[in-house]
C-alpha cells in the first residue's frame, strides 16, 4: 500500500509593514539648529551696548498677563470666524450665479490688495460708527476675521480645484450627491494639500492681532507699549510679547505638522 505524500506547510506570511516611526522633537539635527541660531542671537546681543533693567518691567507682570489673555480671547474668536468666512467665500467663488461669484471675487481682491492697518481704521471708524458698533472687543476680532477670511478662501479654493475633474465625474457616476462628493472625495484630498498654508495663515492671524492695539484694545502689544512708556525699557518691555506670541503660535505650527504626517499618503 503506497502512502500519500505529506502536504507541505504553507509558507509563512510576511510581516505586516509597519509605518515609519515618527521622529521625536529633540532630534540631533534640530538641537544643532537651535544651538546655531541661539549662538547667532547671543552674539548679536553680546555686542549690543545696552544696560538691561528687568526689575522695573517685572512690576507690571499683571498688565502683561491681562494683555496675553485678551490676545488669546481675540484669537479664539477670530480663528473659527475666519475659517467659516473663508469657506463661504470659497464656495461663492465657485457659485454658478455670476453676481454672487463676482461679488465674492471683488471682496477677496480688495481685501488682499490693501493693508490691514488701513482696513482696521476703515471698518471701525466708518462702518462701525455707521452701524453703531462701538465695542472694540467684538469689532476687533470681526475685522481680523474679514481680513484673514479672504486669504483662507483662496487657500481653500485652490485646494478644491486641485482635485481632478475625473474624480468628481466618477463620484457623480456612482450616485454620490454634491455634499457626499465634497465630504468623501474632494475635502480629504484638498485638506492634505492646504494644511501647511492653512496653518500658516492661522499663525499670521494671531500675530496680526497686535495691530488691534491702534483701537485701544488691552492686548499684549498695547501692554508692552504702556510698560515701555512707564519704564523706558524697550527691550525688556517687548521680550514678553515675543514669548507670549511664541506660546500661542509654536504649538499650532507643531500640531499642524503632526497632523500633516498623519494624513499623508502615497499618490
Residue 182, domain CATH: 1.10.3720.10
- φ, ψ for residue 107, nearest 5 deg: -60, -45
pLDDT at site 146? 94
Residue 213 lies in a domain: yes
Q: Which residue, among 241, 238, 237, 234, has the nearest Cα to 50 in the 3D structure?
A: 234
Residue 101 lies in a domain: yes
Residue 26 lies in a domain: no
Residue 226 lies in a domain: yes
pLDDT digits (tens, 9 = 90+) for 238-254: 999 999 999 999 888 88
DSSP 122-184: HIIIIIIHHTT---HHHHHHHHHHHHHHHHHHHHHHHHHHTS-HHHHHHHHHTT--HHHHIII
- Which grid coordinates belong to 139? 469689532
For residue 205, how many C-alpha atoms fall within 13 Å in the half-sphere facing its CB? 33
pLDDT digits (tens, 9 = 90+) for 110-119: 999 999 999 9
Could you give the 3-state DSSP secondary structure of residue 253?
helix
Long-range own/partner contacts, residues 203-207 (CB < 8 A, 24 or more apart): 203/249, 203/252, 203/253, 204/148, 204/151, 205/75, 205/78, 205/79, 205/82, 205/144, 205/148, 206/71, 206/75, 206/79, 206/245, 206/248, 206/249, 206/252, 207/245, 207/249
Residue 198 lies in a domain: yes
Helix axes 136-161, 98-113, angle to 10 degrees: 120
The stretches in the chain having pLDDT less than 70 are 1-25, 264-267
Tally the domains of the chain: 1
pLDDT at site 178? 78
- Which grid coordinates belong to 57? 518691567
Residue 237 lies in a domain: yes
pLDDT at site 9? 60
Containing structural domain, residue 234 = 56-262
- Which grid coordinates belong to 24? 521625536
* C-alpha to C-alpha distance for 104 and 95, rounded to whole angstroms: 10
pLDDT at site 110? 94
Residues in contact with 155: Cβ distance below 8 Å, sequence separation at least 6, in sequence order: 86, 194, 197, 198, 201
pLDDT at site 188? 79
Torsion of CA 101, 107, 109, 110, to 10 degrees: 150
pLDDT at site 259? 79
Residue 14 lies in a domain: no
| CA distance to 70, 76, 148, 247, 248, per residue, from 243 (Å) | 15, 18, 23, 6, 9
Q: Are 56 and 227 in contact (CB under 8 A)?
A: no
Count H helices, E strands: the chain? 12, 0
Residues in the chain: 267
Residue 80 lies in a domain: yes
Amino acid at each position: 500500500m503506497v502512502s500519500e505524500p505529506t502536504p507541505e506547510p504553507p509558507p509563512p506570511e510576511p510581516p505586516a509593514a509597519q509605518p515609519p516611526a515618527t521622529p521625536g522633537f529633540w532630534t540631533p539635527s534640530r538641537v544643532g539648529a537651535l544651538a546655531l541660531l541661539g549662538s547667532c542671537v547671543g552674539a548679536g546681543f553680546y555686542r549690543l551696548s545696552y544696560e538691561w533693567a528687568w526689575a522695573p518691567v517685572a512690576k507690571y507682570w499683571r498688565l502683561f498677563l491681562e494683555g496675553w489673555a485678551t490676545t488669546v480671547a481675540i484669537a479664539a474668536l477670530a480663528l473659527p470666524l475666519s475659517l467659516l468666512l473663508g469657506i463661504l467665500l470659497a464656495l461663492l467663488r465657485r457659485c454658478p450665479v455670476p453676481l454672487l461669484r463676482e461679488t465674492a471675487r471683488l471682496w477677496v481682491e480688495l481685501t488682499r490688495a490693501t493693508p490691514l492697518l488701513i482696513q482696521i481704521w476703515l471698518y471701525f471708524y466708518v462702518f462701525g460708527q455707521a452701524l453703531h458698533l462701538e465695542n472694540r472687543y467684538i469689532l476687533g476680532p470681526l475685522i481680523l476675521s474679514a481680513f484673514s477670511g479672504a486669504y483662507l478662501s483662496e487657500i481653500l479654493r485652490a485646494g478644491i480645484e486641485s482635485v481632478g475633474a475625473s474624480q468628481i465625474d466618477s463620484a457623480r457616476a456612482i450616485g454620490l450627491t454634491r455634499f457626499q462628493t465634497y465630504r468623501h472625495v474632494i475635502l480629504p484630498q484638498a485638506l492634505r494639500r492646504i494644511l501647511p498654508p492653512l496653518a500658516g495663515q492661522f499663525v499670521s492671524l494671531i500675530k496680526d492681532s497686535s495691530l488691534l492695539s491702534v483701537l485701544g484694545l488691552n492686548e499684549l502689544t498695547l501692554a508692552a507699549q504702556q510698560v515701555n512708556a512707564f519704564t523706558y525699557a524697550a527691550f525688556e518691555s517687548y521680550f514678553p510679547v515675543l514669548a507670549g506670541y511664541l506660546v500661542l503660535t509654536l504649538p499650532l505650527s507643531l500640531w499642524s505638522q503632526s497632523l500633516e504626517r498623519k494624513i499623508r499618503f502615497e499618490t
